[in-house]
């Protein structure tokens, strides 16, 4: 099995990929869209990408890719995130801090309190930040402990994230929907098309009336017009469950668009 994921070596995506399938061959890509396209083109068997963080919310590029490309969510993995400050030398040498935008956001308070005048630079991944930091003592990276060993850096500070409890949910993308396991989730995206009083309420009522628990609901702009939104919804249950099928069938009659993103086993948060 070949898994596509964000690179280079040492990313939290790598942790997620190994947690989902420890024996798989890993293939690294520069960004989320490249991973998803590799799944579409069958260059890899599955792709592992971040979709949601407990501190900073959803990863917009992943939500956009799910809508754009014909892939299915086949699994999910939850990884605890502990950010470290990595550098070649000591803190007093640091002039630039690099990391992925999500990691920087998850550590914004620590950065502001400790490094008010330091330049902040975004990178494609936490591991790429570590790789760059290994090239200059003026640079530091916010990345994982594994990246320190991988790129020969010192761990100057640990647990830089704004809150100690910090988790990222990763999804596994493939071409087929796995069989039910009795502990599943289903993800969909809905477009109401017409903004009318009670439209969303009536949609959600289809789930409530069938005792389907929604674990997430999020609106995201369609990027076509101001005030025009899509709704990304996660629910408990599998698409093959009768009550899930019935609810989505009724919603399809009322919605402008309904797209099933996948049904997959729920991950345990450890």
Number of other residues whose CB lies within 10 A of the CB of residue 124: 18
Burial class (CB in 10 A: 0-12, 13-18, 19+), 262: buried
CA-nearest of 220, 206, 187 to 254 is 206
Q: Rounded CA gap, 121 and 123, in Å? A: 7
Alpha carbon distance 128, 120 (integer Å): 15
Active-site residue set: 168, 170
* DSSP symbol at 238: -
Written as six digits, the tokens of 58 are: 């959803």
Residue in 137, 102, 132, 97 with CA at minimum distance from that of residue 118:
97
Secondary-structure breakdown of the chain: helix, strand, coil percentages, each rounded to the nearest 5: 30, 35, 35
Half-sphere exposure of 12 (CA within 13 A, CB side): 30
Q: Provide the 3-class DSSP secondary structure of residue 163.
A: coil
């Amino acid at each position: 099995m070949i898994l596509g994921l964000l690179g280079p070596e040492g990313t939290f995506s790598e942790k997620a990929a190994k947690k989902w399938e420890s024996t798989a061959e890993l293939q690294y890509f520069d960004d989320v869209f490249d991973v998803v396209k590799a799944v579409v083109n069958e260059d890899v068997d599955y792709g592992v990408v971040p979709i949601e963080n407990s501190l900073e919310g959803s990863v917009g590029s992943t939500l956009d890719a799910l809508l754009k490309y014909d892939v299915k969510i086949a699994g999910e993995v939850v990884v605890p995130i502990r950010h470290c400050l990595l550098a070649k030398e000591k803190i007093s040498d640091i002039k630039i801090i690099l990391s992925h935008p999500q990691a920087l956001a998850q550590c914004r308070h620590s950065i502001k309190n400790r490094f008010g005048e330091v330049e902040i630079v975004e990178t494609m991944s936490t591991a790429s930040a570590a790789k760059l930091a290994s090239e200059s003592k003026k640079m530091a990276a916010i990345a994982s402990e594994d990246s320190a060993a991988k790129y020969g850096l010192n761990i100057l500070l640990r647990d830089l994230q704004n809150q100690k409890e910090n988790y990222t949910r990763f999804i596994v993308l493939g071409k087929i929907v796995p069989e039910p396991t009795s502990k599943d989730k289903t993800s969909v995206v809905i477009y109401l098309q017409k903004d009318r009083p009670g439209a969303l309420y009536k949609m959600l009522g289809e789930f409530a009336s069938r005792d389907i628990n929604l674990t997430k609901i999020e609106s995201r702009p369609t990027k076509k017009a101001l005030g025009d939104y899509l709704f990304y919804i996660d629910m408990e249950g599998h698409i093959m469950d009768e009550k899930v099928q019935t609810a989505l069938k009724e919603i399809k009659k009322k919605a402008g668009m309904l797209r099933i993103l996948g049904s997959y086993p729920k991950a345990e948060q450890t």
